[in-house]
Structure 1
Amino acid sequence: MAKDVIVSLSLIPASELLSHIVLDLLETAQAAKQVLFQKENFSAFSTYLEKISAILKELLKQNLNHLESFTNALGILDRELKVANQLVVECSKRNKVYLLVNCKKIVNQLDRSTKGISRALSLIPLASLDVSSSINSQICKLCQNMLDAEYRAAVAEEEILAKIELGIQERNGTRSYANGLLVQIAEALGLSTEQSELKKAYEEFKREIEDTKLRKEQEESFQMEQIIALLENAGATTSAEEKEKKYLERRNSLGSQPLQPLQGFYCRLTHDVMVDPVETSSGQTFERSAIERWIAEGKNLCPLTNIPLGTSALRPNITLRQSIEEWRDRNTIITIVSNKQKLQSSEEEEVLQSLSKLQELCAERDLHREWVTMEDYIPILIGLLGAKNREIRRHALSILSILAKDTEENKEKIANVDNALKSIVHSLARQHEESKLALELLLELSTSIAARDTMGNIQGCILLLVTMLKSGDIQVAGEAQELLENLSFLDQNVKQMAKANYFKPLLQRLSSGPEDIRLSMGETLAEIELTDDSKLSIVQDGALGPVIQMLSHSDLEMKKVAVKCLLQLSKLPQIGLQIIREGVVAPLFEVLYRHSLQLPALREQVAATVMHLSISTTNQESNEEQVLLLESEEDIFKLFSLVSLTGPDIQRNILKTFHALCQSPSGLDIRMKLRQLSAVQVLVQLCEANHHAVRANAVKLLCCLMKDGDDNAFLEHVSQRCIETLLRIIETSNDVEEIAAALGIVANLPKSPERTQWLLDGAALRIIHACVADGNRDASYKRQVVENAVGALCRFTVSTNQEWQRRVAEAGLIKVLVQFLASGTALTKQNAAIALKQLSESSRSLSKPVKKLGIFYCCISSPETSCAAHLGICSIESSFCILEANAVDPLVRMLGEQDDRTCEASLDALMTLIDSQKPQDGSRVLENANAIPAIIKLLSSNSVRLQGKCLRSLEMIFQLDELKRKYGSLAQMLLVDIAQKKADDLKEIKSLAAKVLVQLGVLGSQSSFF
């Protein structure tokens, strides 16, 4: 078959076949980038294809049609490429769950395709082709790299496959196992773990089975059916109605009496019914834990047969285990059904025994809780809250809490029973243990809207909760506080009263008393959920003093609790500034710098607290006394040096700290000192970090340092490898802020020709085009990324290198720049105008002269239309003409923007249309676009720089008498105002205004204004 394909391809000219393959390579590479599953692997594969395409393009320049061996090599390459393309298509369209369970197969196929394409590429007879040694070397290196390439499934994916395989092997059909597996699959795929979303993913996966059956892929179909059989036990895969129907069918098929266990269910060692039966090498079956303990005690003979036990692993007796589980489930259902009647008995002892058994079953398994709910126990349990017996009420509350925690549906069912919440609230006023259980249940129910509304309207509920805030039991007081805050519709005065009643005694105990009490109070303050108002309230009441004392304490546990408190409180900027003022920074740094402290979690919490404090410094008003986190260069050096000496969690927070400090009022000084400390070199290295959060924050901080830095400080560190890393981040990252920062670095890189060429060689224009053309991203993405992407384009449009400008035009980016003149942010518009201005500066020299026509040429063909500004033949691609690109009208509209720098960039671009030697043609273009009134209006700008540019523009425009007559009177008063300014530093602009007034005949050439 392969031979036939090669023979048929040999009939196609080699150059035509090569062109076809180059296109296929690019299409497959682009499609591979869009594959969301195994994204890193497919991105790497796409890069290989792009490199092959670039090399094969060079071969198109050769005369190749006479080489049969070359054609044959292309045929093999074409065949391998089709296989690869099929894999890419499959992974783009198939269900995500299906792809995950086949991830190893996909990785293997990707590996085979990479190596197959590499081998096909190596068959090209380079010795027979007149190619350069550079191309020869590139092909050899690329082939070797592809042969060495390794693709791997993610660790999470391999864990899921292992769990699936184990579940199938051991026939583990328990609901908890299936639920855990389904949630693990959803998290690995980035899917929601909501029941509706899990069910949707499961149903789509089931449809894949039908597809595999239609394709008669029996082995794969069988595997899928096994996985479906495992997952269908998960609660999320069936609706409540389906579960209830299935349960009732099963319940109705059972008898009314529990069955005794079969003799074979008992372990001969423990004499109990087995849970995990395993078979030994002697052929006997025991409970796993019992026989493992037997062997661990050095007993190497079977306890029943005295046959030596082999060293092989114990084999699970899956059939027996399933039989025991079925027996247990049968008896459990019968017990649940029969218990229902016993709960309505007049005998309190019988009711208590039934409740105790029911509570035990509910605590055992989620499936048991589901059966209890379907047997409609909830109304009965609510009814028992009115019983006289305290123990009955306590058991009922405990079971209701277990059911409420199980599902949101159960919360709604409890809240919707008549007088349910009123009965629970009544228990708040009873004996301590019962009130605690009632409080726990109400807190769980408070996440339900219906329950919250009802609770707030129950007379006495709020009063009871406020009373409980005074409890000596910290847990009870904390839960009461949390429940009050969940009832968001409460009167604010009640909330404030609750806070005052709770936090004041807590702070009193925190600041005085035995150390164990202080430690307990500190732990409570650290762990309880606090609103912003609560945090401010306790700080105002003096919480920071005792916390600082604990931080300076010699006892390590005291330090740990103090750090936890500060971590929580520092999240609020107002408190963060107060913490710095109180002098807490020094003792925090003392903990952070203690490398000998074998408590990484504590140092991580300190680093996170310092990060919060740094963020608080960005919220200061410029007119107030500035609070500094780091006061000296030594402080900056010591903290930044930890970036190279700590793990990723601390690294991330320190990088965030410096990024925030760079945005603070003292940011300019921080940035300057970081550059002096060679921070750039460290950050460039961290841009290649494996830990995503570290890498992303390093990129953001590096971008910040480059905005106002000296180019020379970056030249030695920004290598070609660094640029390739940045481009890879832009292309592959899912972090919008990281992408924007990487583009910001590209925009602010030293403007050396060498680095710009490296960017072009790394496909920067294609990558930037993908960023600005991505219509599937949200508005936030467009603001951050597009702004920096357009700024980056400015470096490729400089008029000193028309080859770079040509590549920008060929990439279709001129039209994109024109679009952003109308739809971008102020900075985006400014940079787009700057880029177009630089392109337009080359237009006059690139505009082709209009051919002079013969006397009879007009009878044969219509003459070519010349450009109104450049008087030659212009186009977007050949001369980068902004008139042809329809950029003039949006540029004129930009002259009315509020931002002076945007107006200035627009004016600069428009004035490239005017030839200083022959201003008439360009001036008429501006007049036709109604630009002149807008330029005159800008004379009233507050920007002296912009005023000067407007004056120089009008000086050229008013060289045309017709335009002078038409617009002179409009400009006259504004020109006089400028010429009469008294400031000494405005001499140049006054002189310019006077020159234009001379043009208009208002002043004489010998006027004193000069």
Structure 2
Amino acid sequence: MVREELYITVPSLFRCPISLDVMKSPVSLCTGVTYDRSSIQHWLESGHDTCPATNQPLPSMDFVPNFTLHRLINLWIHSSVSSGRATTGASSSPSSSSSPLPVLPPVISTSEIRQMVAGIAGEPGSFGHEGFQKVAEFARYSEENRRFLANLRDSVEAILRVLVREGGQIEVLESALWVLDLILLENGVRERIHRLIFRTDYERCFDSILSVLRKGTLGSKIQSSRILEMIASSPDSRRAIGEKEAILSVLVHLLGTETDETLMETILSCLISLSVTRSIKVQLVQFNIVSILSRILSHPKTAGLSAERAIKMLYRLSALAEGRKAMREHPSCVSVLLDKLMKVPSAAKEEGLAVVWSMCCAHKDERVKERIRRGNGVTKLLVVMQSEGDGMAVKRMCRELVKSLRGVPMADPSFSTTSSTRYGGLGSLETKTTHIRPY
């Protein structure tokens, strides 16, 4: 039996430009664009320094609550329900003009939540899917509710105890991870998770996360990937996760088989956070991630965060001989990377070009050079250089690559990381090309 849900037409003003969902806690950047707090926090914490909607550089990462819009959204929600303007439907997508009825006031009080958390802490095995659903709906409703839940004594510990319980049902594990995901950004939650997660009596949490990644719903897989990324925020935690080969294997498998854009972006972000040690990067190469990243970049619809993160992942792997070998042996990896550089922001261009520069200039890979030449790579490099404005690192790498592809000796082929460009001293370029004039 298909469960019916309430759907309404959502004014575009009330949608977050990142998640496309109705904003629960709207905040405005210095550019004047408003986003849902959790979405923009995740964007900024992922290392971005631009406004996602306008691509403008952000002189300040601060944002302020948009109380007026928050009030309007709440008025609209309640008026839509009371006037009976909602219709029913079985499913929806984030890009549609109709969405599930946004969060309404929870039918549970703070005192009941306090009792429920105490019950989970005392007897985690007795708490089922329905109870966690109520806790999740409470936390989902507002920032104040999430803060209340996060500040409850033993709330994080209680959720982790459910995750380490042997033989837990997948629905219960999914609900517990949903609650944990909702309060991740609250003060002190990450620290409490880090303090507990690698203790011997809590390490079974990773088995539960692995089960959800394998058998859970799309939403719970996204939440599990986000939680893993949060856990992987210190060298010790990354090393510990890297030792759990099954988790890396499942993440790469999902990346290669799933098509949901949000899941792909989340998994890529998680893998980027993990791939700072040589051992983890070697494992990823062994799991054939270079082929998967190449396929992602070759898809004409791959854009935005998916493209940027796939390029960053290749950039991380290019530091390894094993990574460069996999890219060299893949028939189209460097070619599709070069094609995508004309459609991504400056930071991604710089990282993508660094991959090509490393293989062609620093390591003088003739096989890769020949593939780029056959794919009209010189013209593409000149187009990238022409479109880059004041991006000096990009221009210099493009010049050096064109020289290398044309067989012109380079002034300094070393891959120095001490220069202002991070990618070595790159000489000037003289070209007779007339239809594209490099800066």
Corresponding residue number in structure 2 for 1:242? none
Identify the residue that residue 421 of structure 2 maps to in structure 1: 905
Secondary structure at the aligned position of 2:421 is classed as: helix
Quote the residue 2:290 is aligned against: 723
* Higher relative contact order (Cα pairs below 8 Å, separated by 6+ residues): 2
Q: Which residue of 2 aligns with 1:769?
A: 338
State whether residues 121 and 155 of structure 2, in contact with CA within 8 Å, keep that contact through their aligned partners in structure 1. no
The structure with the largest helix share of the pair is: 1
**Corresponding residue for 2:83?**
444
Aligned-pair CA distance for 1:659? 1.7
> In the TM superposition, what is the alpha-carbon distance from 1:716 to its structure 2 partner?
4.7
Distance 1:783 1:606, change over 3 A: farther
In the TM superposition, 1:379-528 aligns within 5 A as: 443-444=82-83
1:904-928 per-residue CA deviation (whole Å, 9 max, x = no partner) reads 1189535x469xxxxxxxxxxxxxx
Match of 1:835 in 2: 397
Matched, 1:633 2:198: yes
Match of 2:237 among 655, 670, 676: 670
User: Match for 2:363 among 797, 800, 807?
Assistant: 800
CA distance in 1, matches of 2:255, 2:274: 14
Match of 1:879 in 2: 408
Match of 1:758 in 2: 326
Shift of 1:728: 1.1
CA contact (8 A) 1:675 1:705 kept: yes
Aligned with 2:179 (options 602, 609, 614): 609
| Change over 3 Å in CA distance of 1:750–1:639 after alignment to 2 | farther
Give the Cα–Cα distance (whole angstroms) in 1 for the partners of residues 146 and 211 of structure 2: 26
Give the alignment's Cα RMSD to 1 decimal. Answer: 4.6
Give the CA deviation at 1:529: 0.9
Counterpart of 1:744 in structure 2: which amino acid? K
TM alignment of 1:509-908, pairs within 5 A:
529-530=104-105, 544-552=113-121, 560=129, 562-571=131-140, 576=146, 579-581=149-151, 582-594=153-165, 596-598=167-169, 600-616=170-186, 627-631=191-195, 632-634=197-199, 637-646=203-212, 647-649=215-217, 650-662=220-232, 666-678=233-245, 679-690=247-258, 692=260, 696-706=265-275, 708-710=276-278, 712-719=279-286, 721-732=288-299, 734=302, 736-752=304-320, 755-760=323-328, 761-774=330-343, 782=345, 786=349, 788-801=351-364, 803=366, 804-805=368-369, 807-808=371-372, 810-812=376-378, 813-819=380-386, 821-822=388-389, 830=393, 832=394, 835-836=397-398, 839=401, 877-879=406-408, 904-905=420-421, 908=424
Question: What SS class does the counterpart of residue 730 from structure 1 fall into?
Answer: helix
For residues 671 and 576 of structure 1, do their structure 2 counterparts lie closer, same or farther at Cα, with a shift above 3 Å needed?
farther
CA positional deviation for 1:587: 2.2
How far apart are residue 637 of structure 1 and its match? 4.0
Counterpart amino acid of 2:198? E
State, as a whole percentage, how many aligned pairs show the same letter.
10
**Tell me, what secondary structure is at the counterpart of 1:627?**
helix
Task: Specify whether residues 877 and 743 from structure 1 end up closer, same or farther in structure 2 by C-alpha distance, changes over 3 A only.
Answer: same
Residues 457-480 of structure 1: CA deviation (Å, up to 9, x unaligned): xxxxxxxxxxxxxxxxxxxxxxxx
Question: Does the 8 Å contact 1:699/1:742 carry over to 2?
Answer: yes
Residues 162-177 of structure 1 correspond to what in structure 2 (within 5 A)?
A: none
For residue 602 of structure 1, report the CA deviation from its aligned partner: 3.3
Q: Do the aligned partners of residues 587 and 729 (structure 1) sit closer, same or farther apart at CA in structure 2, a change above 3 Å counting?
A: same
TM-score (ref. length: structure 1): 0.27
Structure 2 unmatched ranges of 5 or more:
1-8, 11-77, 87-101, 412-416, 430-439
User: 1:686: Cα distance to partner?
Assistant: 3.6
Question: For residue 191 of structure 2, what is the amino acid of its counterpart?
Answer: V
Q: CA deviation at 1:801?
A: 0.6
Letter in 2 for 1:630: H
Letter in 2 for 1:564: Q
CA contact (8 A) 1:724 1:762 kept: no
Distance (Å, rounded) in 2 between the aligned partners of 1:737 and 1:668: 25
**2:274 alignment partner AA:** L
SS at match of 1:630: helix
Gaps of 5+ in 1: 1-192, 195-438, 448-526, 775-780, 847-875, 883-900, 915-1010
CA distance in 1, matches of 2:162, 2:296: 35
Asked if structure 1 preserves the Cα contact closer than 8 Å seen for 2:346 and 2:388, the reply is no
Structure 2 SS opposite 1:629? helix
1:902–1:580: structure 2 CA closer, same or farther, 3 Å change rule?
farther
Q: Give the Å deviation of 1:763.
A: 0.8
Amino acid at match of 1:772: L
Question: Bigger radius of gyration, 1 or 2?
Answer: 1
Q: Partner amino acid for 2:326? A: W
SS in 1 for 2:256: coil
Q: How does 1:259-338 map to 2 (within 5 A)?
A: none
CA deviations on 1:608-650 (whole Å, 9 max, x unpaired) are: 1112233436xx7xxxx97332324247742233343331324
Q: Distance in 2 between matches of 1:573 and 1:661?
A: 22
* 1:409-445 deviation digits (Å, cap 9, x = unpaired): xxxxxxxxxxxxxxxxxxxxxxxxxxxxxx9998216
- Compared with structure 1, are the counterparts of its residues 674 and 543 closer, same or farther at alpha carbon in structure 2 (3 Å cutoff)? same
The alpha-carbon distance between structure 1 residues 627 and 723, as it changes in their structure 2 partners (threshold 3 A), is closer
SS for the counterpart of 2:191 is coil
Structure 2 counterpart of 1:688, one-letter code: G
Give the paired residue count.
319
For residues 820 and 634 of structure 1, what CA distance do their matches in structure 2 show? 51
Counterpart-to-counterpart distance in 2, 1:556 and 1:720: 36
SS at structure 2 position matched to 1:616: coil
- Distance in 1 of aligned mates of 2:281 and 2:423: 32
Go from structure 1 to structure 2 and tell me whether the alpha carbon gap of 1:716 and 1:806 turns closer, same or farther (over 3 Å shift).
same
Change in Cα spacing, 1:668 to 1:565, as seen in structure 2 (3 Å) is: farther
Whether the aligned pair in 2 keeps the contact of 1:615 and 1:660 (CA below 8 Å) is no
